[in-house]
Amino acid sequence: MSYTAPLTDMRFALDHIAGLPALASLPAYEAAEADVVTAVLEEAAKLAENVFAPLNRVGDEDGAKIENGVVRTSPGFPDAYRQFREGGWNSVPVSAEMGGGGLPWAVAIAVQEMLSSANMAITLCPILTQGGIEALLAHGSDMQKERYLPKLISGEWTATMNLTEPQAGSDVGALRTKAEPQDDGSYRITGTKIFISFGDHDMAENIVHLVLARLPGAPAGTKGISLFLVPKFLVNEDGSLGAQNDLRPVSLEHKMGIHGSPTCVMSFGDQGGATGWMIGPENGGMRCMFTMMNNARLAVGLQGLSVAERAWQQARAFAQERRQGRAAGGSADQASPIIDHPDVRRMLLLMKSQTEAMRALIYLNAGCIDRAHHAGSEAERAEAQALVDLLTPVSKAWCTDLGVEIASLGVQVHGGMGYVEETGAAQYYRDARIAPIYEGTNGIQALDLMTRKLPLQGGGVVQALLAQIRADCAALSGRDEAAFGDIHRHLQPAVEALDKVTRAVLQGLSGDIAGTIGGATPFLRMMGTVLGGWLLAKSAIAAREADPQGDRAFTRAKVETARFYATQVLSQAPGMAPAVLEGAESLASFDTDLLVA
């Protein structure tokens, strides 16, 4: 159940997929020198391996509890968080002027991958704080920034996102929490929020709740929502903590996994109203929320990758140790390690190849965020931002779906031992299952991809991406090795199929919208599958170019990983087209009466 940070593959993806060397040449990221990044990753690996990972099972077995209205986290969590904070890990991607590490998001994402692999539950807390920092940086008043940002950046305080209410989950616009303006410029917040991760805990001295609520007379739906800053403890002018605010955790959810993360029902205003301050303009809450959520979506996609990496490491270790039967060529005297059995190796390679494909996608996405903020020209920034917009729903949904599937493969590799809780494989399967749900269900991501992102620039953004894939596909065909030939043979029809389906979807959106959006989820799956195959192919090319003899184990593994994925996974992409395009009639014919008949 130990965890070893996959530093070699992480660094490879940073350098060759996220484009770290180019990022490091930008003025904003002058801190990101190669040896600095190396040192940062190695230090983060120690924290993940030695501090966070050993607490993963503790968090599962002895999860967060609520007692006398206060949440107590799992044994060891407050101390682990203290070490995280003192190491400055909370502020890796924040600019140096703001007191942060001044490193690219891509590097921060790599750090976060390790921490989430080591302990998904506790790492959720700083992910939420990061969302709060983003929201305040983008939309906060000077006073709000001055009073709250330094403590959030340092990690002394943490943040939460308070969106969901019992009747308002995916439909945020249905929320009812009220905010009444007061004479002093503050607001009285009253309402109940559910599914608030780390809504209360004992790891930091204050918690800054970002709460969506409605002003009196606000328009219905999402147009009438505003965002409020509601601290657990009010903050005096000198920055010291004042009175406790009128808010409290009412109860914790009894969840299937991530038991170490307290999921609170929060009550605001039991005593007349919690004191809050508006962030951004009146009724501008949705925009602020999207600022919070955008990077959070990538962070949740990353959880899919992280739990998959952990599950893969554990399955691999188990398959080396566990002996059963005799594999072809195995010793006659002793049972073979199950890793030598073809079906087990197939499962392991599905885990490995898809995990590396996810890593490439997430790191690419993070590198684009960096370029969107700090690339040299407005055109480059806009181009990068368009790619961020397109890729983020795929990173979130495809990676979290795969996280579940890979955790499930990990259980299967363990056989009966995978079903008992002692090995940890079962915990990954339970933990992983939340990620396709929160931060916008994967169905919502698929709709976002199809109806908002595909039509960007009249389809130009996705076409530019397809052009990149085609260019790398051409590079494959210039190599005479058999493995590259196999990869090319499957990547080429896959990208053409994706192109064809994309065009058909864009056409469909201008006609039978209801019919077309029924294919949103298979479309996202198809796109993720093709992007994964492309990025593994790109990785294989880069590895081969860095190692002209091609005899290093890493190079051989990269090339064969791309080949395995191409033949086993990518090869199925063209066959997904009917699932995207032909569902409309069945979905329409199946009216609700018939479905429940």
Q: Closest separation between CB of residue 288 and a second copy, Å? A: 21
Give the end-to-end CA distance of the chain in Å, rounded to a whole number. 48
Q: Which of 145, 430, 479, 503 binds a second copy (CB under 8 A)?
A: 430
| DSSP 3-state of 173 | helix
DSSP 8-state class, residue 450: I
379 versus 595: smaller Cβ distance to a second copy? 595
Closest to 303 measured CA to CA, from 401, 382, 161, 166: 401
Encoded one letter per residue, x for contact with a second copy by CB under 8 A and - for no contact, window 80-119 reads ----------------------------------------
Could you say whether residue 411 binds a second copy (CB under 8 A)?
A: yes
State yes or no: residue 596 binds a second copy (CB under 8 A): yes
Q: Are 523 and 512 spatial neighbours (Cβ–Cβ below 8 Å)?
A: no
CB of 406 to a second copy, least distance (A): 13
Closer to a second copy by Cβ: residue 65 or 346: 346
Closer residue to a second copy, CB minimum distance, 188 or 433: 433
Residue 262 C-beta: closest distance to a second copy, Å: 13
* Residues annotated as catalytic (active site), given as ranges: 439
Cβ count near 68 (within 10 Å):
5
d(CA 260, CA 65): 9
Query: In whole angstroms, how large is the CA radius of gyration of the chain?
Result: 24
Distance CA(394)–CA(387), nearest Å, equals 11
Q: Is 515 in contact with 576 (CB distance < 8 Å)?
A: no
Helix axes 520-546, 7-16, angle to 10 degrees: 100
Tokens (6 digits) for 203: 């790891």
- 8 Å CB contact between 273 and 180: yes
Choice from 6, 231, 257, 262 touching a second copy (CB under 8 A): 257
Distance CA 570, CA 387 (A): 22
Residues of span 451-480 touching a second copy by CB under 8 A: none
Which of 420, 467, 471, 474 forms a contact with a second copy (CB under 8 A)? 420
Stretch that binds a second copy, among 45-53, 96-104, 284-292, 407-415 (CB under 8 A): 407-415
Q: Which residues contact 102 (CB under 8 A, 6 or more apart)?
A: 28, 29, 30, 31, 32, 94, 95, 96
Which residues are CB-contacts of 308 (< 8 A; sequence separation ≥ 6)?
351, 354, 355, 358, 399, 402, 403, 406, 407, 432
* In the complex, minimum distance from the CB of residue 443 to a second copy, in angstroms, rounded to a whole number: 4
Residue 196 CB, nearest approach to a second copy (Å) = 11
CA 228 – CA 239 distance, rounded (Å): 19
Which residue(s) pair with 231 in the sheet? 208
**Minimum distance from CB of 454 to a second copy (Å)?**
16
Residue 595 within binding range of a second copy, rule CB under 8 A: yes
Closest C-alpha among 297, 318, 436, 288 to residue 369:
297
Q: Single out the residue of 255, 259, 373, 538 in contact with a second copy (rule: CB under 8 A).
A: 255
DSSP state, 165? B
Please tell me whether residue 540 binds a second copy under the rule CB under 8 A: no
Q: Could you say which residues in the range 497-516 bind a second copy, by CB under 8 A?
A: 513-515
Rounded least distance, CB 419 to a second copy, Å:
5
404 near a second copy, judged by CB under 8 A: yes
Rounded Cα distance between 304 and 307, Å, is 6
**From residue 575, how far is each of 70, 399, 579 by CA, in Å?**
52, 20, 8
Contact range with a second copy by CB under 8 A, out of 117-125, 375-383, 502-510, 578-586? 578-586
Nearest CB to a second copy, comparing residues 103 and 163: 163
Q: Considering only residues 219, 419, 457, 545, which one is a binding residue for a second copy as defined by CB under 8 A?
A: 419
CA 582 to chain centre: 30
**438 part of the interface to a second copy, by CB under 8 A:** yes
Q: Which stretch binds a second copy (CB under 8 A): 176-184, 272-280, 361-369, 426-434?
A: 426-434
Give the residue, chosen from 27, 272, 416, 548, that forms a contact with a second copy under the rule CB under 8 A. Answer: 416
**Minimum separation from the CB atom of position 514 to a second copy (A):** 4
Q: For a second copy, which is the closer residue by CB, 231 or 522?
A: 522
Whole-number Å distance between alpha carbons of 401 and 379: 34
Q: How far is the CB of 451 from a second copy (least distance, A)?
A: 11
Residues 344-373 that bind a second copy (CB under 8 A): 344-349, 352
Write the interaction track for a second copy spanning residues 544-563; mark x where CB under 8 A is met and - where it is not.
---------xx-xx--x--x
Q: Least separation, in Å, of the C-beta of 367 and a second copy?
A: 26
* Residues 361 and 391: beta-carbon distance below 8 Å: yes
Residues 123-182 that bind a second copy (CB under 8 A): 164, 167-171, 173-174
Phi/psi of residue 331, nearest 5 degrees: -65, 145
For a second copy, the binding residues in 175-214 under the rule CB under 8 A are: 194-195
Counting contacts by CB under 8 A, is residue 442 touching a second copy? yes
Q: By CB under 8 A, name the one of 4, 267, 283, 441 that touches a second copy.
A: 441
Q: Which is nearer to a second copy, 9 or 134 (CB)?
A: 9
- Of residues 285-344, those binding a second copy (CB under 8 A): 316, 320, 323-325, 328-329, 335, 337, 339-344
Question: Binding residue for a second copy (CB under 8 A) from 253, 383, 496, 547?
Answer: 253
The angle at the Cα of 435, spanning 434 to 438, to the nearest 5 degrees, equals 80
Burial class (CB in 10 A: 0-12, 13-18, 19+), 253: middle
